[in-house]
Structure 1
């Protein structure tokens, strides 16, 4: 989404932000006392660039655009060109103290003929050194940050010998509740011997399923609370303690993955987790503060005369997505947040309908449809709810457009509808077509029905 130009123009999306839009975002951040830290992928997760023919020669594995080859000079030139364009635009609007250079999940490393003879850890550490070297030559006051996962299994001696502790600060990311399961105590001991400080990274959305459409606020809040405990425990080990905690919010698992939770659906989860992370705890008083911040009815509101005040309704155990709690609040994105509950209900209804119609009942199974052989009375019974379900999904698709028009561009709206709603619409239309074909038949042959011809490949003898 960055408006790359020149030799990098081919990696910019057709709907990338304009330079003016980015400058506007940066100015708005500054006005609201927010510090922007750009992130540029420099090793793995480079699918957005390496998928293009112009950069295929930089791939570590020819068949896959996931990671670039660190042994090519042109790889470093490419990375430095990306960094320069991002930094030049960002520094035009504000001071940039940090640059995140990614380096997580480099799944393909040490595979090509140039890299095969080198240890993977050596390849990784040398590439980080090279990227940081180019950055500090051009932007000496900017401190590089990297994700930590590729360092977790690197021996302490190798990290110390590489000098990486003087070059970058690690951002330790775990999005599950059990932090120590993924980063045990001995890893913290290693990190603190190499780095003077570290960042932690939790999540408020996009971490518990590639196709989820609304965050599980309960799990994200617990993730952040557990991080606070770990930071309290591990901070004394570092010379400068922890630099901070980052609440990440992923919208895709990688460039080729479908959309997961959109930001408007995640505002309540962000509010809960941000309140906990900034205060260091979470209790009933803070939940009330979140409700006030997100425009929820107060106990004195006339709307609460018929219902209990919002503060008495919060229950993450029974309402982990917070639909009941925040469903009648007024915050940016609230209409789409409410719509996700409608989607949740609709998906469950369609799933049950399809299961009943095509699997559990015996008159519209794939066998019945292939042989066009069923009882009209039963077909009518099974499809009685079909028109209602179809109208509901069509209404949901139109409501999605209305809810997202002020937030997302047409491409994002279209992708989300195609991903979340359109498949069920097509499935119901297929049921409708099959039902009509079954109902159009007025006479039927005597049993047994002729075996399916394709079964011959399994040894079924055709009569």
Structure 2
């Protein structure tokens, strides 16, 4: 008889089955355990340290058995790609979000997740460590927040496909956006990404698999040879990813962005298996939801899918170079969404407030998170409020959470922009908000000065510069009278302030990127002016006219 040796691996498996047994018995006795965190801790201590084995899969099943009330999730989207906020800042921010009504986070790590093994190079060099991610998840758990990881699995895979080692997986070689769904290695890479993410997010009930803006479909030779249209290729790929998740992690529900399905006919949508595999997140960032999601589309979504999720925006949806959110537009976006779903017979399972940091992996930074906190809190309070609550009550809570002076009458109509009123508040990120306003003011002054000297004033136009033909007195007087010397000093001052303030929220790489994208162009523009003024000022003789025939 071969003796049975109780290895750590077998101990972990036995414990996992014991957990299932305890929960089932507890359910029968109407005394179901409410907190599953102890399961995570025990399973992580024994057995599979990577978390992608039997224990991890059993734990996901156990969490699915756990009872849950299903109020609408109020979800804040954290877009981390290429600009990771310091965890010390996120730890300070999370309780504030919870007070405003947030009970879940949609975390889009992109290249900030600590991938390892064959995927190690898709992580940025300043990515979070595994321990940092686990600490973050622990803080969220303590606040009662669900964490929904977002892993792109079709489009927006630039952070993977930009690399030489994964170039062969592109749908179109020139554009590293989409992975080829017909390449057998594509699914292997995606599955490994999902495994590694879920090995840390062990109690996740949902995972978002992206699938938005897949601009290039059925274009490579492998896809063309399949002789099916682009919609069927899309469905086939999503089905493969979703079935992998359903089989490997039965307790998890995959979510996808809805935009690729929005143009499909009801007949085609109904004929696909997606209704049993995924749940759509319908995203619209305007103040007219019905224009982009007509009621017949919503109706067929409700007929096809078990649950529907919706998404508005609190930042990152105006222009790809915006510095501060347009709070009024984002507020109107949420108003439109709430009016829209109030007419529906089916409520939304979750409401996501998206906050994009970049429009894609290659784009420059748009609105940063800390100065966008006023927009985030206002919209979060609004979607979490009762239907009967008036705007006045919502604005009152907004002022309270931002620790504004009692004398501040903070509404959209108090001033435009709201900078002076918000200056009397002390929320975490106030200094960054003030910095962004100072930058915008300074940028306007630099742009105005440059335009005045080179276009409106008649002594430093491109013609004058081309022929070195001007009045030095005039250009010196214009530069001084329009405060050019002060503006030049202010550009240098704000650079130093930027390093000091943004370093409270971001690492030095993100701070330097923001400076290079925003402040260095101002410095370059001012340096060009002063250099040209110096050249023109040193000329002592000038030619006879006509100048153009020399």
TM-score, normalised to structure 2, is 0.77
Deviations 1:92-119 (Å, cap 9, x if unpaired)?
xxx1000000000001111111213321
Q: Which of the residues 309, 327, 333 maps onto 1:217? A: 327
Contact 2:258 2:282 in 1 (8 A): yes
**CA RMSD after TM alignment:** 1.3
Partner of 2:128: 17
Distance change (3 Å), C-alpha of 1:320 and 1:84: farther
Cα distance in 2 for partners of 1:124, 1:279 equals 38
SS at match of 2:160: helix
Q: Which of the residues 289, 292, 303 maps onto 2:400? A: 292
Q: Which of the residues 167, 170, 177 maps onto 1:66? A: 177
Partner of 1:159: 269
SS at match of 2:221: coil
Please say if 1:113 is aligned against 2:206: no
Cα distance in 1 for partners of 2:248, 2:417 equals 45
Deviations 1:333-389 (Å, cap 9, x if unpaired)?
110101111112111111111110111111111222222221011111221122111
Partner of 2:340: 230
Cα distance in 2 for partners of 1:290, 1:79 equals 41
> Structure 2: which 5+ runs fail to align?
1-111
Q: Which of the residues 352, 355, 362 maps onto 1:246? A: 352
How many aligned residue pairs are there?
A: 433
Please say if 1:52 is aligned against 2:160: no
Contact 2:372 2:433 in 1 (8 A): yes
Deviation at 1:320, TM superposition (A): 5.3
Deviation at 1:322, TM superposition (A): 2.7
Cα distance in 2 for partners of 1:123, 1:320 equals 48
Q: Which of the residues 417, 427, 436 maps onto 2:525? A: 427
Please say if 1:208 is aligned against 2:304: no
Cα distance in 1 for partners of 2:280, 2:342 equals 17
Partner of 1:415: 513
Cα distance in 2 for partners of 1:445, 1:172 equals 67
> Structure 1: which 5+ runs fail to align?
299-308, 452-462
Partner of 1:305: none
Q: Which has the higher contact order (CA 8 A, sep 6+)?
A: 2
SS at match of 1:137: helix
Contact 1:217 1:321 in 2 (8 A): no
Deviation at 1:15, TM superposition (A): 0.7
SS at match of 1:158: helix
Contact 1:8 1:82 in 2 (8 A): yes
Cα distance in 2 for partners of 1:7, 1:249 equals 30
Cα distance in 2 for partners of 1:347, 1:329 equals 24
Deviation at 1:74, TM superposition (A): 0.5
Cα distance in 1 for partners of 2:333, 2:297 equals 19
1:443-458 equivalence runs, <5 A:
443-450=541-548
Deviation at 1:157, TM superposition (A): 2.0
Please say if 1:441 is aligned against 2:535: no
1:293-372 equivalence runs, <5 A:
293-298=401-406, 309-310=407-408, 312=409, 314-317=410-413, 319=415, 321-372=417-468
Partner of 1:75: 186
Deviations 1:202-258 (Å, cap 9, x if unpaired)?
110100010001101111111111111111112x1x4xx310211110000000100
Partner of 1:306: none
Partner of 1:123: 233
SS at match of 2:244: helix
SS at match of 1:115: helix
Cα distance in 2 for partners of 1:320, 1:107 equals 38
Deviations 1:59-103 (Å, cap 9, x if unpaired)?
000111010111111111111010011110121xxx100000000
Partner of 2:384: 278
SS at match of 2:132: helix
Cα distance in 2 for partners of 1:319, 1:109 equals 47
Deviation at 1:325, TM superposition (A): 2.7
Contact 1:294 1:330 in 2 (8 A): yes
Distance change (3 Å), C-alpha of 1:318 and 1:368: farther
Contact 1:199 1:244 in 2 (8 A): yes
Partner of 1:394: 492
Deviation at 1:317, TM superposition (A): 4.4
1:128-207 equivalence runs, <5 A:
128-207=238-317
Contact 2:181 2:237 in 1 (8 A): yes
SS at match of 2:223: coil
SS at match of 2:309: strand
Deviations 1:7-58 (Å, cap 9, x if unpaired)?
1111110111111111111111111111100000000000111000000011
Distance change (3 Å), C-alpha of 1:428 and 1:56: same
Deviation at 1:318, TM superposition (A): 6.2
SS at match of 2:506: coil
Cα distance in 2 for partners of 1:43, 1:369 equals 51
Contact 1:228 1:280 in 2 (8 A): no
Contact 1:3 1:9 in 2 (8 A): yes
Deviation at 1:196, TM superposition (A): 2.3
